[in-house]
Structure formats: structure tokens, C-alpha cells
Amino acid sequence: MPRKHLVLPVFAGLALLTGCGAAAGPPTNIQPAAQQKPAQAVSVNAASVAGLGTVLTDQGGKTLYMFNADGTNPPESRCVKECAEMWPPLLATSAVKAQGIDPAVLGTVERPDGLTQVTVSGSPVYTYSGDTKPGEANGQGLQNAWYALSADGQQIAPPGQKTEAPEEKPEESPDQQTESPAQVSVVATNIPGFGKALTDQDGRTLYLFTNDKTKPPASKCVDDCAEKWPPLLTTDEDIELDGVDPKLVGTVTRPDGTKQVTVGNWPVYTYVEDKKPGQTNGHGVGGVWFVIEEEGCKSTAPVKAAKSSKSSVKTSEEAGEEGY
């Protein structure tokens, strides 16, 4: 099975303004301006956040997060451009202070844009634009990729996931094999009524969203839309291909910083209403969702007539805006 290796990758001077052509007048007494407060020093602090316990925050009290797609050994920040707007990196403009934590866990790394970012236990750390005040942690667990940090610099497990140490397992004999994590795959599969269409490693049909951009690729399906149309994500640099031209396959960084697989420059998705392999219930939904063919194009297979209901039918425009 062919494989494709994807490489992801002033202070403004104060000018003295004078009225143009104004006649000189008597000097005006100007009251001295209030003394400006010095910029707040960058620090990493331990603070209590409801529902999470003690977490790490920045000097303004905003919760700090790690991104599990980043590199840690050595540290490497992979959240850039749109991602960094949603998840602002904690930048070190001077020595970083530590309050309530061991200073030894702190460090820095140079970002792709040349700025210096703070690291905790080797992980570059960020705040979240969705946290509007101290004590919030709205970014916790987003896209299964962003997590707050405990006072000892470790990832805090999302709700429902056990935080205690895993139970010790008996030693396996040499002939026992350890199961590897599931490989992300794009497969050309013969689907009745569609011919060769694309599926993922579990046989789920892949779709494109015509409201997305392709030049360059950009996903517009986020939040509620992404829950109904889960993007095909990858954290690895290798995507397993079967019957698909490697030149068609790539990745794009989503607004939340995760990496989504693209085919023919289209970000690709599955559909929650497809309950088993080979189903194509998402084809034609809202006039904007279509099965994607092996050439990376929108399938032209006939669209099934939608079941009409005045209370539930949406226009194509409304469906496209909402993502479903």
C-alpha cells in the first residue's frame, strides 16, 4: 500500500503633531500626563479553576494550555497563523517568573515567526481567545488536542477520563504483539451508485464541503458543524493511501490548530449519520456536502430526495452557513 510522507510543516516612535499652517500662539500650559504603569512581567502561576482544580495561568490569570500536536523533545510550536490568533502563544519578552510552581519546569522555544514562546515541561503554552476572564477554561479538551496544565506541568485529563496512574499490566511474552495506534488512511473504495469514492481507515465515506476554500485550502466547518461533520484529522506525518494519487493528498491547519487531511485541496470529513461503512447519507445535504471521488472531485452521483418537513427543512444557504 503506497504511503505519502507529508511535511508539515516597534515600538512606534511618538511624533510631535502640529497644525499645518497654524499661526504661532502663546504657549499653552500642559498638565503632565499620568505616569504609565510598567508592562506586567510575564509569569506562570498556579491558580484554582472551577472544575479543574489547580492549573497554570499567565500573569493576567488566563488559563494556559498545551497543544498535543506540538513537539516536546525538542520543543516545537506548530500553532501558527490563524491557529495562533485563536490560541495566542505566551511570549517571553523578559525573564519568566514562576509563582507556586517549580521554576525548573519553565523554558522557552523560538517560534517559526522568530518570537520566543514560554514552555512548561517542554510543551509550548498558549492562552485561549475564548477565555474572556481569569478562572475560565473554555479551551479544555477542544478537538481532543488542547489541554490545561496542572501545577506540576502535566496535561490535565479531560472530563470523564481517569487521571490516576494506569494499572500495571503483566509483562507480555516476546511473541505477544502490542497493538499500534490506528493509522489514518485514505482509501479508494467502490461504493454502489458512486463508483470509486474515498473512505477513511474505518471504511467511513469521506465528504467535501463546497463552502470551504481550496486555494489555499481552508476549513469553514467548525464548532457545531464539526460535531456533525467530523474532520479527518492526523497528528502523524504519514497518511496511508490505497488507490489514491499521493500528489492529491495533503493537510491544512484548522482554526483550532489541528491538522486536517485534504484531497485535491478539499478538507475532508466524515458524517455522523453514516452508521456503518459504505453509507452515503451525507451526499447532497444542504446542497453543500458531497461524497468525494478518488480524483479529489465532488461526486456527481444523483442526490436522494430529502424528506420534507416544514419544521426541519433548511435552505441550501442556511444549511451551508450552519455547516449541515
Question: Which pLDDT tens digit goes with each residue over 44-82?
Answer: 999 988 888 899 999 999 999 999 889 888 899 999 988
Q: Which stretches of the chain are DSSP H helices?
A: 82-86, 224-228, 316-322
Least confident interval from 115-124, 149-158, 314-323: 314-323
b/e sequence 113-136, b meaning 16+ C-beta within 10 Å = eeebbbbbbbbbbbbbeebeeeeb
Is the confidence at residue 32, as pLDDT, over 90? no
Residue that is written with C-alpha cell 477520563 in the block: 161
Is the confidence at residue 28, as pLDDT, over 60? no
Q: Shortest CA distance to 83 belongs to which of 31, 142, 151?
A: 142
Q: CB under 8 Å to 25, separation ≥6 — which residues?
A: none
What is the amino acid identity at position 114?
Answer: G
In the chain, domain spans: 43-148, 185-301
Max Cα-Cα span within the chain: 96
Q: What Rg do the C-alpha atoms of the chain give, in angstroms?
A: 25
Measure CA of the first residue to CA of the last residue in the chain; give whole Å: 34
| The most confident of 5-9, 39-43, 286-290, by mean pLDDT | 286-290
Cα(72)–Cα(282) distance, integer angstroms: 38
In this prediction, residue 174 carries a pLDDT of 43
In this prediction, residue 305 carries a pLDDT of 72
Torsion from C-alpha of 323, 269, 224, 140, nearest 10 degrees: -150
Least confident interval from 3-7, 85-89, 97-101: 3-7
pLDDT in tens, 234-275: 887 689 999 999 999 999 999 888 899 999 999 999 999 999
b/e sequence 44-65, b meaning 16+ C-beta within 10 Å = bbbbebeebebbbbbbeebbbb
Q: Shortest CA distance to 322 belongs to which of 275, 285, 274?
A: 285
Average pLDDT over residues 299-317: 58
Is the confidence at residue 91, as pLDDT, over 90? yes
Q: Centre a 10 Å sphere on the Cβ of residue 269 and count the other Cβ atoms it contains.
A: 29
| Rounded (5°) CA angle 257-109-262 | 25
Is the confidence at residue 34, as pLDDT, over 70? no
Mean pLDDT of the chain: 79
In this prediction, residue 312 carries a pLDDT of 37
pLDDT in tens, 133-167: 999 999 998 888 899 999 888 998 765 444 444 34
Cα(262)–Cα(254) distance, integer angstroms: 11
- Rounded to the nearest 5°, which phi and psi values hold at 105? -80, -10
Output the 3-class SS for 9-45: CCCCCCCCCCCCCCCCCCCCCCCCCCCCCCCCCCEEE
pLDDT in tens, 165-191: 434 444 444 444 434 446 799 999 999
User: Strand 43-49 vs strand 3-5: parallel, antiparallel, or unpaired?
Assistant: unpaired
